[in-house]
Amino acid sequence: MSKIILRAVVVDRQVYVRNKRKCNYFTLSLFALSYIVYVKYALDPNFSLTKWNWNDDISCYLDTNDNLSTITAFNPTGRSIFFNDPTCNVRIFNPKDACSIESAARAHWNWPVYVLFNSPVSKEELKKNDVLKVLMKLPNIKFARVNIEEFSMGTPAEGFVSSGVLNDTVCPIALTGGLVKYLTLYKWGGIFMDKDFIVTKSLSSLPRNWVPKSDDQSIGSGILAISKEGRSIAEAALRLLIKHHKNLDCANGENVMAKIVEQECSTPNPISNAAISCNGFEIYGPQFFYPIESQRVMEYSEPGELQGYETAYTYYLWSKMRIGTGIKKRIGSRYSKLTRKHCPAIYNAFAYKF
């Protein structure tokens, strides 16, 4: 009897060890997969689990199942603000992006604010997407479609786009986003900005051609203004972007404006100097558009007042840095105050997601 009992114990022990080993393998596999997804998302904010592909997919750019008018149909003026969503998945359009758009619209009630989608947006998506529905309630926000092939026709980028090079580049989404930016400014002029800015005061009093520095040594091309009369600047930016497209930083996008500033300015080391004017093109110090530097991004999650609020036109959120989430970190923080004041509709609808 004792031998039978001992054998049963041994068998049970073996089953236990085998099951535990399987459980450990599963846990390690899940951890490894989670880590891969985390790294991919951290390096590429356009990554989505609904688009399980390690390479950028821009096949949607040619899809015609669209409910939006083209931006050309709107015929914008130089007193316009533009945003671009270059992804193939409008479902990942998040409240932080929408906050940026709402803040720009509220600071410029008499300016149209265009959100340009590179991919089609169906009627059903407009009806069920809660983020887009909030934005559509603001009268000066306009959604428009950009078909990159049609959009580039008759411009310095036509040959480059029609050649199909976009499909063979390492990061076509980032490259297309840069092309749309400078093509838009080339055609109509206006202000173009990333969805990482929160606008705190009107930009209408500024000159028609400007770009800010993101710090004392760098040009920040996340926001800039070029007039239709200054389209030579946009054309030069397009040509530089095309020429150096193989060297594009997939994570951070293009920054050809640094080279443009050097070309436009006769002053030695223009980027290192204080705010200056170069042939009618203004270069502003970081305190006006990037008052909180990337190294201090966690200050957004802390309580207190925002540095330079009276001077700043915008605040840049540095999306690669994850601003604190969760009620305890959000309530009373600088970021909370900023969003509650300048994008109240989005904040009230999605405060728990910020």
Q: How many CB atoms are closer than 10 A to CB 305?
A: 8
The pLDDT of residue 347 = 94
The pLDDT of residue 145 = 95
Could you tell me where the beta strands, DSSP code E, fall in the chain? Answer: 81-85, 113-117, 141-145, 190-193, 197-199, 210-215, 218-219, 223-226, 276-278, 281-284, 314-316
Q: How far apart are CA 353 and CA 341, in angstroms?
A: 16
pLDDT tens digit sequence for 170-179: 889 999 999 9
Q: How far apart are CA 330 and CA 95, in angstroms?
A: 15
Beta bridge partners of 116: 84, 144
Q: How far apart are CA 28 and CA 161, in angstroms?
A: 44
The pLDDT of residue 310 = 94
- Please state the φ and ψ torsions of residue 296, each to the nearest 5 degrees: -115, 25
Residue positions counted in the chain? 354
Q: How far apart are CA 36 and CA 30, in angstroms?
A: 10
Beta bridge partners of 249: 253
Residue by residue, DSSP assigns 46-111 as T--TTS--SS---GGGG-----SPBHHHH---SS-EEEEE-SS-GGG--HHHHHHHHHHHHH-TTS
Q: How far apart are CA 41 and CA 210, in angstroms?
A: 32
Q: Which residues of the chain have pLDDT under 50?
A: 2-11, 36-55, 323-329
The whole-model pTM stands at 0.82
- Write out the two tokens for 247: 């060297």
Question: E strand or H helix at 2, and its extent?
Answer: helix 2-43
The pLDDT of residue 65 = 78
Cβ-Cβ contacts under 8 Å for 29 (sequence gap 6 or more): none
Q: In which residue are the tokens 């529905």 written?
A: 133
- Please state the φ and ψ torsions of residue 113, each to the nearest 5 degrees: -115, 110
- Write out the two tokens for 335: 């970021």
Residues 30, 52, 247, 100: is their CA dihedral positive or negative? Answer: negative
The pLDDT of residue 338 = 93
Q: CA Rg, the chain, in Å?
A: 24
The pLDDT of residue 27 = 63
The pLDDT of residue 78 = 93
Residues 170, 46, 128, 115: is their CA dihedral positive or negative? Answer: negative
- Write out the two tokens for 61: 């750019």
The pLDDT of residue 18 = 60
Q: How far apart are CA 189 and CA 209, in angstroms?
A: 9
The pLDDT of residue 170 = 85
